[in-house]
Amino acid sequence: MRIMIMGASGAGATTLGDCFVKNNDCFLHLDSDEYFWEKTDPPFQEAKNYEERNSLFESDFYSQENVVVTGSIFRWKTDYKDLFDLVVLLYIPQEIRFQRLAEREISRYGNKILFDEKLNAKYKEFLAWAAEYDLEENTTSRSFKQQKQWMEEVKFATLFLEGDLTVKERLTVLQTYIR
């Protein structure tokens, strides 16, 4: 079975994917950030070339029958619409996402993110990008509207989980749905 879990940054797709794989050890977890970004210090500074990214992703994706992909790959290639048996879209209110994102970024970079001019500028840029997800008119980056539309176009099962559910609650819904 091949599953994709997606949503806005901070919605919990990677966390749910990790939890799902820990409870279903025959699955391989692939997170889109691992393929999209070059390894840099600090991380998430330089995007990979799309051909390299897609080649690495496809190699890992096809290496195992049971795969959970987390993050947003729905715009990487048009034929990725046909890869999955199930797509899960997570949606939580923006204010909750932003609280999670702030906590995650401070955990990742420490208070340095607030005081280091360069890191703070990147942090603010990231938050501005993350806020675009909920904008109806956003057509240039990942958005709720685009992900919802993509789900309506695919030919396989979809699951929409809305609200600030716990990871355990989401996992229970997902596993029940799969059964």
Cα 14 off chain centre by: 6
Q: What pTM was estimated for this model as a whole?
A: 0.91
In a domain, 86, yes or no: yes
In a domain, 38, yes or no: yes
Cis preceding-peptide flag for 43 (omega within 30 of 0): no
What CATH number is given to the structural domain containing 73?
Answer: 3.40.50.300
Residue 76, domain extent: 2-95+143-178
In a domain, 121, yes or no: no
In a domain, 131, yes or no: no
In a domain, 117, yes or no: no
Contact yes or no for 23/63 (Cβ under 8 A): no
What's the rounded Cα separation, in Å, for the pair 9 and 118?
A: 21
- pLDDT 10s per residue in the chain (179 long)? 999 999 999 999 999 999 999 999 899 999 999 999 999 988 888 999 999 999 999 999 999 999 999 998 988 887 788 899 999 999 999 999 999 999 999 998 998 998 999 999 999 999 999 999 998 776 667 899 989 988 888 888 999 999 999 999 999 999 999 98
Query: Number of structural domains, the chain?
Result: 1
What's the rounded Cα separation, in Å, for the pair 103 and 23?
A: 26
